[in-house]
Amino acid sequence: MGTKHVKKILAAAGLITFWQIAALIARSGGEYTAVLVPTWGKVLTESLPGFAAFKGGALPNYGDALYVLLSNSLITVKRVLIGLAAGGMAGVATGIIIGLQPVLRGMLYPIVKILRNIPLLALIALFLVWFGGEERGIIIYIAFGLWIIYTTNIIEAIDNADRIRINFARTLGATNMDVYTNVILPMIVPSIMNATKVALGVAWAIALGGEFLAAQDGLGRLLIVSQQYMETGRMLIILIVFIVLTAVFSWMVKTAGNRITRWMP
Amino acid sequence: MKMGELDRKTESGELNIEHISIEFNTVSGDKMKALDDISLDVAHGELVAVVGRSGCGKTTLLNIVAGLLEPTGGTCKLNGREIKGPGRERGVVFQADAVFGWKRVGENVDFALKLGGVPKEKRRELAEKYLKMVNLEKFADFYPKELSGGMRKRLQIAMVLANQPKLLLMDEPFGPLDYATKVELQVEVEKIRLKHPLTTFFVTHDVEEATFVADRIIMIEKGRIVEEINVDIPRPRPVEIRNTAEFHAISDYLLGKLLELSDVKSEVR
């Protein structure tokens, strides 16, 4: 275990301790403040089994609680991944087309720039009206947000593509198609990986936003219901689930990215 | 003869540069003549070095011959055919690192052969042959980032040669390399050209490099040819010829001429 891991574990332990100290102070302040920052004991013995209530109003128990957390996590993960795949593929495709075709670029790039400047959360209401407040609306909304990220990243990557290598390929006899597929495309792969890192972060945020407003399930839904019942302990548990999920997916993207771009200096 | 045949002969070309001029727009909106009525012939198998200070127009001239830039006036012909756009009969070794970093060393040569229309089953053998020519045969499975700058330059040369060009264009090819590597690669070019006498247009600011590699040296200043001298040092030229009076007579003369052309005169007392 390297020092990096030791530091991370120490940081986590520090946060847990800090929370516990805050909770003890809150408990000494009376019943109301105790609810705001519950101790770890209360979180693990009362809040956690309480998630069972989401499974048809079951009484608190760990089995149903874990089922609720797991199934809702999978629902959110599914939305994020479908949105990422759809938005990513569409964004890479439009980015390449707009980036390489001067005429289309002149027409479409200004539109993309305007769309990019709209705060994504401002669009959610519109998407829910257009595509329904259910699964479809949320996924299309996530995909749209990520599509903009990918498109702008790819266009910029094409603009910054190394002219020397393009020229070298052309002097070796490459056709335009050879240059696109064998030179420009591999050169923008690192940008696609970087865009994916950014897009994944945004995807979690806007998936939650969509679930707050519209969904009947998912971690965002659990979070908003917990808020309505002042269940701070459950909110804390959902945050921890989120920390784990984002860490796992960031690690996967990072590992895949390192593998794919291992040729880079 | 069909393309892609192992035994295709490296037939070198003859380059005719006729009254080439090119103008650029400056930032202030004026026109600047980067090349002014340049005419120059490079014979079959000849190596002509073009020397000059930075900004004299030598790389611009090479880019026109490569087909990467269009002249405002004049024409360039290779074997009597007018040059339009880039083409694989004119291979370019660029100053910058131009090899494809995402491909392994062997795959880079394979890609060059593929662009040259060589069928897949013949590419492997040919790639090995050209890597061997530049002493990189042990590095076929390496990524370019794992090679030194000099080795990456060798790879670039192998890729260009694998394409069997009729004219070799070298644009300050060894500029960014350390001195010893540079001398080593100059000797390498000499060796390769002894076996395959390829017509070569070699741009450099280094007068010693020009003297070592060239049959003839052209000096350009402010877009015009200002000097032309023959290098009558016999080939093959071992690295020791750099110590001869004959060699220094030429390189010192060129350096003197370049200093003379300087806009800013500095004197050491």
pLDDT digit string, tens, across residues B68-87: 999 999 999 999 999 999 99
Q: Is residue B230 part of a domain?
A: no
Q: Which residue of A has its CA nearest to B163?
A: A172
| B235 inside domain | no
Cβ atoms of B104 and B146 within 8 Å: the answer is: no
**Distance in angstroms (rounded) separating the CA atoms of residues A147 and A125:** 18
Q: Does B97 touch chain A (CB under 8 A)?
A: yes
Distance, CA of A191 to CA of A156 (rounded, Å): 9
Q: How far is the C-alpha of B184 from the C-alpha of A255, rounded, in Å?
A: 40
- Kind and range of the H or E run holding A133: none
Would you place residue A158 in the very low, low, confident or very high pLDDT band (cuts 50, 70, 90)?
very high
Domain membership of residue B23 (yes or no) is yes
Is residue B52 within 8 angstroms of chain A, CB to CB?
no
> Is B59 part of any domain?
no
CATH number of A46-260: 1.10.3720.10
Domain that holds residue B171: 15-53+65-205
- The answer to whether residue B191 sits within a structural domain is yes
Min Cα–Cα distance to chain A from B115, Å: 6
* pLDDT digits 0-9 by tens, A76-125: 999 999 999 999 999 999 999 999 888 998 899 999 999 989 888 888 88
Q: Does B65 touch chain A (CB under 8 A)?
A: no
Q: Between chains, do B68 and A171 touch, taking CB under 8 Å as contact?
A: yes
* Mean pLDDT, range B39-63, rounded to an integer: 94
Q: What is the pLDDT of residue B17?
A: 96
What residue type is assigned to position A30 of the chain? G
Average pLDDT over residues A236-242: 95
Residues B137-158: what's their mean pLDDT?
Answer: 95
Inter-chain contacts counted by CB atoms under 8 A, chains A and B: 68
pLDDT band for position B31 (cuts 50, 70, 90) = confident
Q: How far is CA A216 from CA A122, A127, B213, in A?
A: 21, 17, 77
One-character DSSP codes across chain B = --TT-TT-------EEEEEEEEEEE-TTS-EEEEEEEEEEEE-TT-EEEEE--TTSSHHHHHHHHHTSS--SEEEEEETTEEP-S--TTEEEE-SS--S-TTS-HHHHHHHHHHHTT--HHHHHHHHHHHHHHTT-GGGTTS-GGGS-HHHHHHHHHHHHHHT--SEEEEESTTTTS-HHHHHHHHHHHHHHHHHS--EEEEEES-HHHHHHH-SEEEEEETTEEEEEEE--PPSS--GGGGGSHHHHHHHHHHHHHHHHT-SS-----
Q: Which residues on A lie below 8 Å from B156 (Cβ)? A: 168
Nearest to A54 by CA among A214, A211, A217: A217
Task: Say if residue A25's pLDDT is above 90.
Answer: yes
The predicted structure's pLDDT at residue B195: 86
Computed over every residue of chain B, the mean pLDDT equals 90
Whether residues A173 and B100 touch (CB distance < 8 A) is answered with no
Assign B3 a pLDDT band (cuts: 50, 70, 90). very low
Neighbours of A105 (CB within 10 A): 17
- Cβ–Cβ contact B173 with A under 8 A: no
| Interface contact A59, partner B, CB < 8 A | no
Nearest to B114 by CA among B169, B158, B159, B155: B159
Does B105 lie at the interface with A, CB-CB under 8 angstroms?
no
The pLDDT of residue A210 is above 50: yes
Per-domain boundaries in chain A: 1-37, 46-260
Percentage of residues of chain B with pLDDT beyond 70: 93
From A188, which residue of chain B is nearest by alpha-carbon distance? B102
The band of A33, judged by pLDDT with boundaries at 50, 70 and 90, is: confident
Task: Specify the pLDDT at position B211.
Answer: 96
Q: Are A165 and B159 inside 8 Å of each other by CB?
A: no
Q: Which residues in chain B have Cβ-Cβ distances shorter than 8 Å to A174? A: 115
Q: Is residue B246 situated within a structural domain?
A: no
Instruction: Count structural domains, chain B.
Output: 1
